[in-house]
Amino acid sequence: MFTRLENDILNGRYPAGESFTESRVAAELGVSRTPVREAIRQLELEGLVTYVPNKGATVKGLSEEDIRDIGEIRMKIEGIAARRAAAVIQESQLAELRELLALEAFHTERGDPEPLMRLDSRFHEIIFQASGSRLLNRTLSSFHHYIQQARSQSLQGMVRAEKTLGEHRAILTALEDKDADRAESLMVQHVRNAMRNINRLRERREENGNMSTPVGT
């Protein structure tokens, strides 16, 4: 229940500021209020809803500051993950990265953004895993999950998708060369470029009168 409601908030089904009462959610999902109550408590701990006694919960989502913080943290720790991966990545992992980039190139050339999110996520997951750190893997996977909708919308624009492909290829070459400095530098720049694109999309929506961000407030 928690995972489903978390995804619904992050995907914008429940926008920021919207009432999030037990009775409403239970009725919409066709379940009792007990599991909904427990899920809302978890969501409050995650900072995704605000609970007011006698009034119920309100969706909080992710703020602009949250998104900015996630970007800054991602740049640092994904750079570390790429550096570590360059030293110890296995040939089987490099082979999977090559295969992923071949698929990414195919769908980019076709102008088909739908599979690109999955391929992009898997590209990063392999590098997280190759770093050998369970903590890095778990932390980065959580951050990617939190901004999944924004990342998906970012890749809808094929100009960014083409740039992403080029950046992924450069990172893969650095990993193949076992060049830790270059792998880290390229990964940091890749994340920076992705977050800049997400921010541009948010600013464009604000200019068009939609003040919501891709993943909340």
Q: Judge if 83 and 187 occupy the same domain.
A: yes
Q: Can you give the CATH number for the domain in which 76 is found? A: 1.20.120.530
Q: Judge if 99 and 39 occupy the same domain.
A: no
Q: Judge if 50 and 96 occupy the same domain.
A: no
Q: Is there a domain that residue 125 lies in?
A: yes
Residues 131/81, Cβ–Cβ less than 8 Å: yes
Q: Is there a domain that residue 188 lies in?
A: yes
pLDDT for the residue numbered 15? 80
34 class by beta-carbon count within 10 Å (0-12 exposed, 13-18 middle, 19+ buried): exposed
Q: Is there a domain that residue 177 lies in?
A: yes
pLDDT for the residue numbered 212? 40
78 class by beta-carbon count within 10 Å (0-12 exposed, 13-18 middle, 19+ buried): buried
Q: How would you classify residue 56: left for phi > 0, otherwise alpha for psi between -120 and 50, otherwise beta?
A: left
Q: Judge if 91 and 46 occupy the same domain.
A: no
Q: Is there a domain that residue 212 lies in?
A: no
Low-confidence ranges of the chain (pLDDT < 50): 210-217
For residue 105, give every residue at least 6 positions away whose Cβ sits within 8 Å of its Cβ, in sequence order, or none. Answer: 165
Q: Is there a domain that residue 199 lies in?
A: yes
Whole-model pTM: value is 0.73
Q: Judge if 116 and 50 occupy the same domain.
A: no
Number of neighbouring beta carbons within 10 Å of residue 7: 13
* Each residue's pLDDT tens digit, 49-70: 887 777 778 888 777 788 788 8
Q: Judge if 53 and 113 occupy the same domain.
A: no
* Domain count along the chain: 2
Q: Judge if 142 and 43 occupy the same domain.
A: no
What are 84's two structure tokens?
């570590």
Query: Which has the closest alpha carbon to 123: 105, 110, 135?
Result: 105
Residue 179 lies in domain:
64-207
Q: Judge if 14 and 99 occupy the same domain.
A: no
Q: Judge if 124 and 169 occupy the same domain.
A: yes
pLDDT for the residue numbered 174? 98
Q: Can you give the CATH number for the domain in which 39 is found? A: 1.10.10.10
Phi, psi dihedrals of residue 146, rounded to the nearest 5°: -65, -30
Q: Judge if 21 and 107 occupy the same domain.
A: no
Q: Judge if 75 and 164 occupy the same domain.
A: yes
